[in-house]
């Protein structure tokens, strides 16, 4: 004899949906935890910021697909070895197969910049920031590109935007200090 439990089916379905949303690879769970981490980062003390930054970087580096994560890892490994062409190949495969994964575009932008392909680097940074506008490292990288093109005002504004998200980012702070006299003027 089989009993019919319509309420039980609804409860099981709701429980499964909540479990799926709470999984680490879940887009909704990632967005929620990134939002919380970004709030914590903006309000953190310098001593806490590095740990929060590591958590955010780890979160943003998860695509939700083991094969896409492998392409990201291979691209990064190739960049570390100095094989920039191989890095671009892996990262291009990643952006082709996971166009909604912001980290893939950011990493390929870094590789393009190292090769000296600034136009493609900017295009990838823009795509990365369209997908993840709070990625302070991508914003910082955009500032570096603006400095390369001798646009200190635009670079300074990018650095200020990155600093608003991550107040303790050392490279951003150094860049702001370096450009401040030429942008804000010198004290007499």
Identify the pLDDT of residue 30: 57
> 101: which DSSP letter?
-
Domain-embedded: residue 108: yes
Find the mean pLDDT for residues 98-105.
97
pLDDT band at 78 (very low <50, low <70, confident <90, very high): very high
Length of the chain: 188
Domain that holds residue 85: 65-116
Domain count, the chain: 1
Tokens representing 71 are: 């392409």
Q: How many angstroms separate the Cα of 162 from the Cα of each of 9, 40, 110, 116, 156?
A: 47, 15, 17, 23, 10
Q: Choose between 24 and 117: higher pLDDT.
A: 117
The H or E element spanning position 151 is none
Domain-embedded: residue 83: yes
Find the mean pLDDT for residues 107-127.
96
Find the mean pLDDT for residues 114-136.
96
Find the mean pLDDT for residues 25-30.
49
Domain-embedded: residue 46: no
Cβ count near 178 (within 10 Å)? 14
Find the mean pLDDT for residues 41-61.
91
pLDDT band at 10 (very low <50, low <70, confident <90, very high): very low
Identify the pLDDT of residue 34: 86
pLDDT band at 182 (very low <50, low <70, confident <90, very high): confident
Is 17's pLDDT higher than 50? no
Identify the pLDDT of residue 13: 36
Domain-embedded: residue 8: no
Half-sphere exposure of 55 (CA within 13 A, CB side): 16
Domain-embedded: residue 98: yes
Give Cα 130 to chain centroid, integer Å. 11
pLDDT band at 15 (very low <50, low <70, confident <90, very high): very low
pLDDT band at 187 (very low <50, low <70, confident <90, very high): low
The Cα 181–Cα 12 span in angstroms is 62
Residue 108 near residue 92 (C-beta atoms within 8 A): yes
Tokens representing 80 are: 């570390």
Domain-embedded: residue 78: yes
The Cα 65–Cα 45 span in angstroms is 34
Is 144's pLDDT higher than 80? yes
Domain-embedded: residue 13: no
Give Cα 120 to chain centroid, integer Å. 18
The Cα 108–Cα 37 span in angstroms is 25
Tokens representing 130 are: 């369209």
Domain-embedded: residue 104: yes
Runs of H (alpha helix) within the chain: 6-22, 27-43, 46-60, 66-81, 84-97, 102-115, 118-131, 136-148, 152-165, 170-184
Is 95's pLDDT higher than 90? yes
pTM of the model: 0.78
The Cα 135–Cα 5 span in angstroms is 47
pLDDT band at 171 (very low <50, low <70, confident <90, very high): very high
Mean pLDDT, all residues of the chain? 85
Identify the pLDDT of residue 126: 96
């Amino acid at each position: 004899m089989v009993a019919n439990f319509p309420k039980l089916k609804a409860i099981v379905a709701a429980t499964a949906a909540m479990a799926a949303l709470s999984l680490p690879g879940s887009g909704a769970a990632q967005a929620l935890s990134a939002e919380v981490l970004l709030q914590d980062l903006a309000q953190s003390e310098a001593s806490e910021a590095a740990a929060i930054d590591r958590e955010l970087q780890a979160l943003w580096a998860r695509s939700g697909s083991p094969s896409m994560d492998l392409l990201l890892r291979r691209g990064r490994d190739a960049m570390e070895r100095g094989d920039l062409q191989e890095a671009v190949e892996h990262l291009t495969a990643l952006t082709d197969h996971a166009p909604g994964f912001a980290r893939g575009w950011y990493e390929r932008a870094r590789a393009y910049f190292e090769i000296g392909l600034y136009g493609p680097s900017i295009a990838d940074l823009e795509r990365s920031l369209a997908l993840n506008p709070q990625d302070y490292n991508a914003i910082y990288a955009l500032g570096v590109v603006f400095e390369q093109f001798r646009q200190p005002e635009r670079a300074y504004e990018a650095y200020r935007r990155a600093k608003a998200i991550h107040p303790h980012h050392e490279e951003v702070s150094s860049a702001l200090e370096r450009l401040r006299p030429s942008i804000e003027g010198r004290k007499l």
